[in-house]
Amino acid sequence: MTINPARFGIDIRLLRNLENQEQRGRGADLRTIIRPESSKVDLEAVAGIGNLQQALLLRFLTPTGEMEVLGHPEYGSRLHELIGEPNTQTNRDRAKLLALQALLAEPRVKEVRSLTVTTRRDRPNHVDIEAALAILEEDAVLNLVFPFEFNGGGP
């Protein structure tokens, strides 16, 4: 199964790591590159499936309501509400629900095939939110991992 990168467009790259992005550096999130043909600095772009990965990660990292002044009051996720809570089964279940709501709000996601929230052994207040997504007009599955930190101490 292959993914047609042209279907996902191009955008300005805002995140350094599309595979494992835990937080967003406010005020320092524009990426630049040196154009080889001119040696001039330009904004870096992200295209294809990377564009969708970035869009999903940004949705997780943006609190719902933060984009209201730009006309997108429902954009984002409510995962930030769990910061400071302990890593308990109840809160992992809440994280799963909030992640599911955010994923289903993305118009390019056709279906969430699986979604798990797993505690990391090396960091007990951290979880990995792992999703397998069916994408519109594609027969491939996109796997996404979003690390999340509760920071609320042990259960």
Domain membership flag for residue 136 = yes
Residue 136 has pLDDT above 60, yes or no: yes
Domain membership flag for residue 131 = yes
Domain membership flag for residue 155 = no
Instruction: Report the predicted TM-score, pTM, of the whole model to 2 decimal places.
Output: 0.79
- The highest-confidence range among 32-41, 43-52, 75-84, by mean pLDDT, is 75-84
Please give the residue that has the higher pLDDT: either 84 or 11: 84
pLDDT, position 99: 97
- Band of pLDDT at residue 4, cut at 50, 70 and 90: low
CATH of the domain at 117: 3.10.450.40
Range of the domain at 75: 5-23+30-149
Domain membership flag for residue 154 = no
Residue 19 has pLDDT above 80, yes or no: no
Residue 75 has pLDDT above 50, yes or no: yes
pLDDT tens digits for range 58-67: 899 899 999 9
Domain membership flag for residue 100 = yes
Count: domains in the chain: 1
- Band of pLDDT at residue 28, cut at 50, 70 and 90: low
Please give the residue that has the higher pLDDT: either 99 or 13: 99
Domain membership flag for residue 69 = yes
Q: Residue range 126-140: average pLDDT? A: 89
d(CA 116, CA 99): 10
Domain membership flag for residue 87 = yes
Q: At what angle do helices 49-61 and 89-104 cross, to 10 degrees?
A: 130
∠ Cα 124 152 120 (to 5°):
20
Instruction: Transcribe 8-25 into DSSP letters.
Output: G-EEE---S-SSS-----
